[in-house]
Every structure is written in structure tokens, then in C-alpha cells.
Amino acid sequence: MKRYSPFQLTITFAGALILLFIVAPLVGMFISTSPSDLFETARDAEVQQSIKLTIWVSLSATVFFAIAAIPLSYLLARKEFPLKSLVSGIIDLPVVIPHSAAGIAILGFVSRDSVVGKMGSAVGLNFVGHPAGIAIAMAFVSLPFLINAARDGFGSVPERLEKAALTLGASPARVFFTISLPLAWRSIVSGLILMFARGMSEFGAVIMVAYHPMITPILIYERFGAFGLKYARPVSVLFILISLTVFVALRVLARNRNQKSTPHA
């Protein structure tokens, strides 16, 4: 019979406590929600609309900002330049500042009196109280997850492969799209999924920019404030279930893509 040292038992017990701390509130919330309450909530038109809005706005923000974020990640992984550490620190800033403060910053950035707000007004778009404003707020707090994951992915690509392709006459663009991007794709997909998931869950930054139309985190807050825990809990459980379903589905699709793209010996 295998014997465990006191140290191994101690760290195992500490790890079990942490897992219990994470799981217990969620399990308690699920147990306290009856199937009838959950089905009734799922049929609620307001809940359906908020979930659809949350998913498509977060997805749109992820796709739109990834167009510039992925090349930036490659630059950070491959190039040395003055103030690179400062740039990396700026990228991580949205993760550490209070998200209510981030919302205030975004609100000032897209308000009608700002340069961006005036540009939007010129084409009939008011970011405040609009899905576009929600997308900007979501992207602001979630972009670091994509940039950091993609940077690590590009950093793991052997530079000798890129240099060999350049020596053979390939252009930098071709090297990027045919060597660097495919080899770093797994990390990039992980970053995209994390950015998308983080955007869906954002509350503090979004509520400053757009209380209406309501994304699901704001709807949960409103129902809790107006009706209490009993009415907010089923929406929370439903949103968690849908978020987990979407998250797992994206992970499975990404894994299948990686398996298909991996050459077999």
C-alpha cells in the first residue's frame, strides 16, 4: 500500500479546499433552482434576447479586434524595440484596474463629445446605449487574454523556420501566414476563446456604457435589485449553462481543427 508523506497530504487537503471553495457556490445555486423555474426562465423573451445579444456582441468584438491584436502579438513575440516592457504593461492594464473605472474610461472615449463619438455621430451612430459601445467595453477588458496567449504561441514557433523561409525568398507576409500563424494557431484559438468568454461575462465596464440594451450580466443584476435572489438565480444558472455549452463547443471545434491540421507520420 502506497504511503503518503505529511507534506503530500497537506497540499492535497489544501487543494481540495480550494476546489470546494470554487465548486460549492455554483453547486448550491444549481440545487436551489428548480427545473420548472429554469424552463420558465428559458421561455422568457427578455432573457432570450439578452443572451443572444451577449453572445453575438462578444463574438463580434472578438473577431473585429483580433484582426489587429494578432499581428501585435506577433510583433511582441518577435521584435525588440524601445519601451517594449511599457507596451506589455499597457496591454495588461485592463486586467488590473477596476472594471467600473474601465467603464468610465470607455464612456469618456465614446461619448458624443469625444473624437470617436463625433465620428460615430457623423454616420448616425451613438456608441452610448448601443451594441457597438458594448462591444468596445467588452473588448477593452478581454483583449489582454488574446494578445498574451497569441504572443506566447508565436514565441514558441522556432525562429529558424521563419529565417529559412525568408532565405529561400518568401516574403515576410507569406512567412507569417504559412508558417508562423499555422504553428501558433492552437494558442491563438485558446486566446480567442478566452477573450470571447471574458467578454460575455463582463458587467462593470458595460453598465457604464450601455444599461440598455441589456446583456445578461446586467439583466441578472437588475432582477436581483428589483425582485431579489429568487428571480435572479434562474437567469444566472441558465446563462452559466449556455456559457459552458458554448465554451466547451468552441474548445471541441478547436481541438478537432488542430487534430486535422496535425500531420501524421
The answer to whether position 15 is within a domain reads no
Q: Could you count the other beta carbons within 10 Å of the beta carbon of residue 12?
A: 11
In CATH, what number is assigned to the domain containing residue 99? 1.10.3720.10
Average pLDDT for the chain = 91
Residue 24 maps to a domain: no
pLDDT of 263 higher than 90: no
As for how many domains the chain has, the answer is 1
The reply to whether 98 falls in a domain is yes
Tell me, yes or no, whether 136 lies in a domain. yes
| Displacement of CA 58 from its chain's centroid (Å) | 8
DSSP annotation of 130 reads S
- Residue 256, pLDDT > 80, answer no
The per-residue pLDDT for range 110-131, each reduced to its tens digit, is 998 999 999 999 999 999 999 9
Cell numbers 507520420: residue: 265
The proportion of the chain whose per-residue pLDDT surpasses 90, expressed as a percent, equals 84
For residue 139, is it within any domain? Answer: yes
- Domain with 193, as residue range(s), is 38-80+88-261
pLDDT at position 265? 38
Per mean pLDDT, which range of 29-38, 138-147, 165-174, 249-258 is the poorest?
A: 249-258
* 103 contacts 207 by C-beta, under 8 angstroms: yes
- Residues 135, 61 contacting (CB under 8 angstroms): yes
Sign of CA dihedral 222, 223, 228, 230: negative
Considering only CA atoms, which of 243, 220, 246, 247 is closest in space to residue 231?
220
Q: What is the pLDDT of residues 145-194, one digit of tens each?
A: 999 999 999 999 999 999 999 999 999 999 999 999 999 999 999 999 99
Q: Examine residue 5 and state whether it is found in any structural domain, yes or no.
A: no
Taking only the tens place, the pLDDT of each residue in 47-94 is 999 999 999 999 999 999 999 999 999 999 999 989 999 999 999 999
Question: How much is the average pLDDT of 193-206?
Answer: 94
**For 5-28, how does the pLDDT look when each residue is reduced to its tens digit (9 = 90+)?**
888 889 999 999 999 999 999 999
User: What is the average per-residue pLDDT within 95-110?
Assistant: 94
Residue 107: pLDDT band with limits 50, 70, 90: very high
In DSSP notation, 26-68 reads HHHHHHTS-HHHHHHHHT-HHHHHHHHHHHHHHHHHHHHHHHH
Q: Would you say residue 157 lies in a domain?
A: yes
Answer whether residue 133 is part of any domain. yes
Q: Residue 188 in contact with residue 150, Cβ under 8 Å?
A: yes
